[in-house]
Structure 1
Amino acid sequence: MTARTSTTATPATEETGHAGEEAVLDVGPVAHGGHCVARHEGRVVFVRHAVPGEKVRVRLTDAGDDAKFWRADVIEVLEASPDRVEHFWRPADSLRAWVHGHPPVGGAEFGHITLARQRSLKAEVLAEQLTRLAGLEDVPSVWSGGVEAVGEGHDGGAGLGWRTRASFSVTPGGKLGMHAHRSHHIVPVQEMPLASDAINGLRLWDLDLQGVERVEVAAPANGSRPLVLLAPAPGTKEKRLRGVAADVQGGASVAAFDPLTGGVTQLRGRTWVQESAAGHEYRVTGDGFWQIHRDAPGTLVGAVTEFLKRGEFLHAGAVVADLYAGAGLFTGVLADAVGETGSVLSVEGAPGTSRDARKNLHSAPQVEVVQGRVERVLRQKPRNFDAIVLDPPRAGAGKAVVGQLVSSQPRAVTYVSCDPASFARDLGYFRRSGWELAGLRAFDLYPHTHHLETVALLTPGP
């Protein structure tokens, strides 16, 4: 690819230390978090929007004199990698954004790299986390070593249009926008290429969003009614929010929501969406958790059940648990597998999402839905589990929960993770308790970003 020459403009924000200065760097290996590692005058610099092996000119964005490391964005490519391509989205393209004096939006930080190379970089990050944090000496033999593509039947291999959920900010002038990475700067947007046609079709960028701080959108892959959530700015009257809601097109429901409490107030239509996966229907209220890639629910359910059934841990009459269960994606499938002679304990901490799970699973008598912290529920409801499905938030399960799981002595645990660092850390806890990694798959559920999803099978050692 021909290198693009960039010229920096006046900084968008007040800077401290060496922020705003430029440097020429040789780019080293990829690091967890969407960066590559480089060095400048003996100091580590985490560089975004580069490809390993390139020579680039960067703008230092976080470069205090006392900082252990600095951060930088690429503004010019001097020697390009053969894996570099032109970014598909102008607001997320570092080379273009800095010409206009501001950083690019986040959310598509790998969009300048071929999809094949993106996946190999993600595999490198996962392998490094497994050796450094989990204590494995080498890439485990139970993993292929690769990150599997998902959804190519829908996107033609472009890695676009997969998001069924999207989050936006609002500029001071009331226009739809997105935050730049690690910045308060909001860049106006008029499309989101990673989002589904149903989200882009709402044309929220045409609205006057004054009085709104944040906008969340959910557009289920099954084609059911989308939901637009408006987080009001302090002091905004409900009348103003209803005015915005009236301007939303596409037949979407609209509700106001409080990001701190999760409270939802109906403005138009429903306060929930109807999702479909693995033969079940799921109601998800407000900004309750649901996998954002259109093909993620089926992919993850398939991987989890394949691991558990292969080891004969999931069968009619089995006793299983779904921890951090959300609206019950895995719970419903587990209930099908164990039948009415088995039992499923479904645990979720968020009250609203737990209420959704009760509605979604009310017809399955073998399911007990409990709202509360996982560690507390496990203490209150000890059982001899055949299998446990563990799908924690990005921070992972943590040492205390892993200790409780080990103490409960299940026959197997499937661990679903969206963060390789917290997964590898928790895997280390399991291994130090004598458990083994019996299976591992990695999926590219977030094309053009640094994120990946893993599904692991863990079993007690002999």
Structure 2
Amino acid sequence: MPARKPPRRPPRPAAAIDPAVGTEVELEVTGVAHGGVTVARHEGRVVFVADAIPGERVHARVTDAKKSFWRADTLEVLEASPHRQAHVWAEASIDRDPEGRAGGAEFGHIALAHQRELKRQVATDALARFARIDAGELEVQALPGDDETNGTGWRTRVRLQVGPDGIVGPYAARSHTVIPVRSLPLATAAIAEIAPLATRFSDAASVDLIAPSNGRALTVVTTRDGSTPPLKPIVEAVGDRRFELDALGFWQVHREAARALTAAVQRAIDADAFDPRAANLDLYGGVGLLAAAVGDRFGQATRITSVESYEPATDFAARNLSDWVGARAITARVERFVRNLADDATAVERGRQRAATIVLDPPRAGAGKAVIDELVRTEPAQLVYVACDPVAFARDAALLGEAGYGIRSLEAFDLFPNTHHLELVARLTR
């Protein structure tokens, strides 16, 4: 007898849309929030406002209404900040309907120096709020050449999306709508030259544009089934050192970022606390950029292990770190790797762990409690944390603080001009 099919459930009703969505309101913008938006209040409710600047009065439309806050898009600036400028990307300008504004340059309407001030405020507020740390007079440092170009011409990698009609372009802010554009002002000249902005693609999901520091720029089309053509490795240069990697592998996007972070990590390490024979680590190591920074500062005998979960990157790291006798690259999930460190260590290895310098450059979500808890069990001499998200870093800094590790040095870098992102490099010791 065939099994009876379970009765069909009635379709679930669509979630009710808050009647506030679509409402147009006048707002006094009072501050900046993490994520590239500003803060206002309407009848006591917090409103996160896109495309505004603290100090402005704007006319905005509510796009999302939660119980505790709203989100809104600026439609018109009624009283402009002295820091407002014509948007560096015409296709992202406030002159356009919000749904038709290109995403990826959410601070492009703000003068560059004031962008950095707002980023400083976000970073210092996050550290104060989540870690109870006073960051003092933190400065968000510009990278070479950015002031001269008003923060344009720095992206060496750009991913364009392909819409159902074959049109190529960036997504609109906070959506998956593809916006056709005529320019890519944040991209380097090499990227802009090959950008297929007027081309229609069939069976394509995305188009990657890559301009390595060594070699010609290239275009990589990913089809809707996720396939790409066979690709040769590319080579990136940092000073006199060369790094080989997959064409679509991770590398710092700003043309000067790899050089800036190499120097920042080298500065951050306390030489008096560094032991080249210790169990030094480079976690989330990629193709070995920061492990090489350590090796270049402290010599060919430096012992350092680079840990990365993506096996092709680990293979490249092994080659890129071959100059150092004590360097090795391991494919492993960082959480699992650090969990085994203390459990499996001999007495001699425990001593090497306590003398270690650990460099970690986690993804945007941060290292997290599981990794931090295991790291502090090894009692390293110093941690050098490279962070691309100030809130995630502040949460991790709070966990480290509970274990007795405080911030001894902190630098901030504007690696992503005309966006809300910044990079932090910190040294933490007991």
Same fold per superposition (TM over 0.5): yes
CA deviations over 1:404-443 (Å, ceiling 9, x no partner): 1111111100000000000000000000111111000001
Any conservation in 2 of the 1:320–1:388 contact (CA below 8 Å)?
yes
Any conservation in 1 of the 2:220–2:229 contact (CA below 8 Å)?
no
User: Aligned AA for 1:107?
Assistant: G
Count of matched residue positions in the alignment of Structure 1 and Structure 2: 404
Any conservation in 2 of the 1:59–1:75 contact (CA below 8 Å)?
yes
- Work out which of the residue numbers 413, 422, 436 in structure 1 matches 2:383: 413
* Other-structure match for 1:232: 223
CA deviations over 1:87-109 (Å, ceiling 9, x no partner): 1211111x2221xx734121111
* Other-structure match for 1:22: 24
Counterpart-to-counterpart distance in 1, 2:232 and 2:163: 25
Shift of 1:319: 4.1
Any conservation in 1 of the 2:265–2:294 contact (CA below 8 Å)?
no
* Other-structure match for 2:329: 369
Any conservation in 2 of the 1:349–1:374 contact (CA below 8 Å)?
yes
* Other-structure match for 1:359: 319
* Other-structure match for 1:239: none
Any conservation in 1 of the 2:280–2:304 contact (CA below 8 Å)?
yes
* Other-structure match for 1:111: 108
- Work out which of the residue numbers 328, 336, 360 in structure 1 matches 2:288: 328
* Other-structure match for 1:44: 46
**SS of match in other structure, 2:99:** coil
Counterpart-to-counterpart distance in 2, 1:298 and 1:313: 24
- Work out which of the residue numbers 290, 307, 315 in structure 1 matches 2:251: 290
State which drifts further: 79-88 or 348-357. Answer: 348-357
Q: Does 2:232 match 1:271?
A: yes
Any conservation in 2 of the 1:317–1:338 contact (CA below 8 Å)?
no
- Work out which of the residue numbers 219, 239, 250 in structure 1 matches 2:211: 219
User: Aligned AA for 1:106?
Assistant: G
Shift of 1:317: 4.2
* Other-structure match for 2:308: 348
User: Aligned AA for 2:22?
Assistant: G
Counterpart-to-counterpart distance in 1, 2:19 and 2:158: 34
Q: Does 2:273 match 1:313?
A: yes
User: Aligned AA for 1:110?
Assistant: F
Counterpart-to-counterpart distance in 2, 1:16 and 1:217: 40
* Other-structure match for 2:72: 72
Counterpart-to-counterpart distance in 2, 1:16 and 1:209: 38
**SS of match in other structure, 1:19:** coil
* Other-structure match for 1:171: 163
- Work out which of the residue numbers 113, 136, 146 in structure 1 matches 2:139: 146
User: Aligned AA for 1:52?
Assistant: P
- Work out which of the residue numbers 358, 367, 390 in structure 1 matches 2:360: 390
CA deviations over 1:155-205 (Å, ceiling 9, x no partner): 615111001111111122212211112212211112110011111100311
Structure 2 unaligned runs (5+)?
A: 1-16
Any conservation in 2 of the 1:227–1:272 contact (CA below 8 Å)?
no
Q: State TM-score, norm by structure 1.
A: 0.83
CA deviations over 1:302-325 (Å, ceiling 9, x no partner): 1111121x4423465454210000
Q: Does 2:181 match 1:189?
A: yes
Any conservation in 1 of the 2:153–2:188 contact (CA below 8 Å)?
yes
Shift of 1:151: 2.3
* Other-structure match for 1:399: 369
CA deviations over 1:288-311 (Å, ceiling 9, x no partner): 111101111111111111121x44
Counterpart-to-counterpart distance in 2, 1:155 and 1:205: 27
CA deviations over 1:9-63 (Å, ceiling 9, x no partner): xxxxxx8643333111111100010011111233211001101011000122223
**SS of match in other structure, 1:28:** strand
Counterpart-to-counterpart distance in 1, 2:30 and 2:100: 22
Structure 1 residues 333 and 311: CA distance shift in structure 2, 3 A: closer
Structure 1 unaligned runs (5+)?
A: 1-14, 235-256, 259-263
User: Aligned AA for 1:274?
Assistant: V
User: Aligned AA for 1:54?
Assistant: E
**SS of match in other structure, 1:186:** coil
* Other-structure match for 2:3: none
* Other-structure match for 1:300: 261
Q: State TM-score, norm by structure 2.
A: 0.89
**SS of match in other structure, 1:441:** strand
* Other-structure match for 1:254: none
* Other-structure match for 1:252: none
Any conservation in 1 of the 2:51–2:107 contact (CA below 8 Å)?
yes
* Other-structure match for 2:7: none
Any conservation in 1 of the 2:115–2:418 contact (CA below 8 Å)?
yes
User: Aligned AA for 1:59?
Assistant: R
* Other-structure match for 1:87: 87
* Other-structure match for 2:426: 456
Counterpart-to-counterpart distance in 1, 2:69 and 2:128: 23
Structure 1 residues 312 and 360: CA distance shift in structure 2, 3 A: same
Any conservation in 2 of the 1:347–1:370 contact (CA below 8 Å)?
yes
Counterpart-to-counterpart distance in 2, 1:315 and 1:339: 11
CA deviations over 1:243-286 (Å, ceiling 9, x no partner): xxxxxxxxxxxxxx55xxxxx541xxx43321111432111214
* Other-structure match for 1:202: 194
CA deviations over 1:326-375 (Å, ceiling 9, x no partner): 11101122233343433111000112212221232234331111001112
